[in-house]
């Protein structure tokens, strides 16, 4: 009985949020967002894990062998790639902010806009 | 809001959230004791039904293909967003103009150039292999697409921006990006023509454990590979262009 992987996911989520709240740089903020998002991958994969289970790939392995859950893996793998493009969009927004406000500190931007 | 007040408010909220997360986590089945009916059923039936030995790929492109359609369009929308934001800031859309303004950044280190020369074909072949055999062994369109884009990006690292930019003309990459997304959606319509529901696997399942397995799943796999490769190349190009040909700041 172990809950450590789940608690790791919860910790990653909170640490990422802390980074977002205290961030003084939009690029750093985007990285913190990816940390927060990674916590969902850890949680999904941890939930689908089965002791002594193999990967859910039955090439050279007989069907019916003990395997981990394939559904959470499918969810995670698509999101890993898609999240990269979403982060690119956020970084492009950060560039745009820098061009308009000449700063990447979220606190200064709030002051800049009144 | 004052910075210290904000952090204090966050700490209170985070403590509450942490308590809720821990309470809910302790209610989950213990780590390693997964009990999901859906996953178990797919583990039992996928290989017999679709003849693809990689169950994860079968879920991504077949059983939950509709989810993946959504993910594909998140990817597509993000890439369109990046191009809208970054291209609007350029003074010219013209590839030739960008190339003329680009500095001479040819890599001078022989070790890097030779290393790149070896890495490019190996990475590209690995990418194609990961995509093609994604139905059989670990891999698939998403992973292979990133590898293929990475192989092309090594051209920038080992040669120069000009070489990379000439190799990936904007209009071709843009077209490939749209074509990949469109192919995925249109393959879903193919199922309607065959009298099945949208994105249903409408082709024969083929031979187990070979490239012929999976029916329409393998075409969706290649459509995704094309879209992901093009998406990564568009992103590389857009950010690189700003790096090598920055726009002059307007006077405040």
The domains of chain A are located at 4-112
Of B42, B46, B235, the CB nearest to A88: B235
Of A3, A21, A58, the CB nearest to B53: A58
Candidates 3.30.930.10, 1.10.287.3510, 3.40.1160.10, 3.30.420.10; CATH matching A4-112 = 1.10.287.3510
Q: Fill in the DSSP letter of residue B251.
A: P
Length of chain A: 114
Residue at B127 is within a domain: yes
Angle between helices B65-87 and B217-244 (to 10 degrees): 20
**Neighboring chain A residues of B231 at a CB cutoff of 8 Å:** 85
Contact B131, B144 (CB under 8 A): yes
Report phi then psi at B7, rounded to 5.
-65, -40
In order of A43, A46, A63, A97, B35, the CA distances from A4 in angstroms are 11, 10, 30, 40, 18
Residues B44 and A70: their CA atoms lie apart, in Å, by: 11
| Residue A1, pLDDT score | 56
| Residue A110, pLDDT score | 65
Contact B168, B152 (CB under 8 A): yes
Say if residue B93 is exposed, middle or buried (CB neighbours under 10 Å; 0-12, 13-18, 19+): exposed
Tell me the shortest Cα–Cα distance from B192 to chain A, in angstroms.
25
| Residue A102, pLDDT score | 85
Neighbouring residues of B65: CB distance < 8 A, sequence distance ≥ 6? B188, B199, B217, B220
| Residue A114, pLDDT score | 44
Size of interface A-B (CB pairs under 8 A): 166
Contact B177, B234 (CB under 8 A): yes
- In A, minimum Cα distance to B20 occurs at A10
- Give the CB-side neighbour count of residue A73, counting CA atoms within 13 A: 24
Q: Fill in the DSSP letter of residue B133.
A: G
- The per-residue pLDDT string of chain B (252 residues; one tens digit each, 9 = 90 and over) reads 688 899 999 999 999 999 999 999 888 888 988 888 899 999 999 998 899 999 999 999 999 999 999 999 999 999 999 999 988 776 666 778 778 777 777 888 999 999 999 999 999 999 999 999 999 999 999 999 999 999 999 999 999 888 998 999 989 999 999 999 999 999 999 899 988 889 898 888 888 888 888 889 999 999 999 999 999 999 999 988 877 654 455 655
User: Is the Cα dihedral A58, A62, A68, A70 positive or negative?
Assistant: positive
Below-50 pLDDT ranges, chain A: 114
Is the CB of A101 inside 8 Å of chain B's CB atoms? no
Residues A17 and A11: their CA atoms lie apart, in Å, by: 10
Residue at B58 is within a domain: yes
Tokens describing residue A6: 């789940």
Residue B137's CB is within 10 A of a number of other CB atoms, namely 17
The strand pairing partners of A57, in sequence order, are: B54
Residue at B133 is within a domain: yes
Residues A88 and A39: their CA atoms lie apart, in Å, by: 19
Residue at B11 is within a domain: no
In order of A37, A44, B74, B75, B232, the CA distances from A83 in angstroms are 8, 16, 9, 8, 12
Residue at B43 is within a domain: no
Tokens describing residue B235: 């992103």
Burial B177-200 (b: 16+ CB within 10 A, else e): beebbebbeebbebbeeeeeeebb
Residue at B93 is within a domain: yes
| Residue B245, pLDDT score | 53
**Neighboring chain A residues of B47 at a CB cutoff of 8 Å:** 58, 63
Tokens describing residue B172: 């071709």
**Neighboring chain B residues of A85 at a CB cutoff of 8 Å:** 74-75, 78-79, 82, 231-232, 235
Neighbouring residues of A28: CB distance < 8 A, sequence distance ≥ 6? A19
Tokens describing residue A102: 């000449």
| Residue B29, pLDDT score | 87
Number of domains composing chain B: 1
Contact B44 A50 (CB under 8 A): no
| Residue A5, pLDDT score | 92
Of A3, A13, A71, the CB nearest to B31: A3
Residues B118 and B178: their CA atoms lie apart, in Å, by: 31
Residue at B216 is within a domain: yes
- In B, minimum Cα distance to A50 occurs at B32
| Residue B205, pLDDT score | 87
3-state secondary structure of B169: coil
Residue at B46 is within a domain: no
Length of chain B: 252
Range of the domain at B120: 52-244
């Amino acid at each position: 009985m172990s809950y450590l992987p789940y608690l790791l996911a919860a910790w990653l989520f909170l640490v990422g949020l802390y980074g977002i709240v205290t961030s003084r740089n939009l690029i750093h903020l985007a990285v913190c967002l990816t940390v927060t998002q990674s916590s969902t991958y850890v949680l999904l994969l941890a939930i689908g894990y089965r002791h002594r289970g193999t990967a859910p790939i039955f090439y050279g392995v007989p069907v019916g062998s003990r395997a981990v859950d394939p559904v959470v893996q499918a969810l995670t793998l698509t999101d890993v790639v898609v999240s990269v493009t979403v982060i690119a969009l956020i970084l492009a927004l950060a560039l745009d902010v820098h061009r308009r406000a000449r700063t990447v500190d979220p606190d200064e931007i709030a002051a800049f806009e009144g | 809001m004052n910075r210290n007040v904000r952090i204090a408010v966050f700490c209170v909220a985070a403590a509450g959230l942490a308590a809720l997360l821990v309470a809910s986590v302790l209610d989950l089945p213990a780590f390693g004791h997964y009990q999901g009916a859906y996953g178990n059923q797919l583990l039992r039936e996928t290989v017999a039904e679709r003849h693809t030995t990689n169950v994860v790929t079968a879920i991504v492109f077949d059983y939950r293909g509709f989810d993946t359609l959504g993910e594909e369009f998140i990817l597509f929308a993000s890439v369109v967003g990046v191009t809208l934001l970054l291209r609007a800031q350029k003074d010219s859309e013209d590839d030739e103009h960008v190339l003329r303004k680009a500095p001479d950044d040819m890599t001078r280190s022989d070790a890097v150039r030779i290393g790149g020369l070896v890495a490019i074909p190996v990475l590209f072949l690995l990418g194609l292999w990961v995509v093609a055999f994604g139905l059989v062994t670990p891999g698939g369109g998403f992973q292979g697409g990133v590898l293929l884009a990475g192989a092309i990006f090594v051209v920038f690292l080992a040669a120069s921006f000009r070489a990379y930019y000439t190799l990936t003309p904007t209009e071709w990459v843009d077209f490939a990006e749209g074509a990949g997304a469109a192919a995925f959606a249109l393959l879903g319509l193919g199922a309607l023509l065959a009298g099945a529901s949208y994105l249903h696997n409408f082709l024969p399942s083929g031979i187990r454990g070979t490239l012929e397995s999976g029916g329409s799943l393998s075409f969706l796999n290649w459509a995704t590979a094309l879209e992901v490769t093009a998406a990564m190349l568009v992103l590389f190009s857009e950010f690189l262009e700003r790096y090598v040909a920055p726009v002059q700041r307007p006077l405040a």
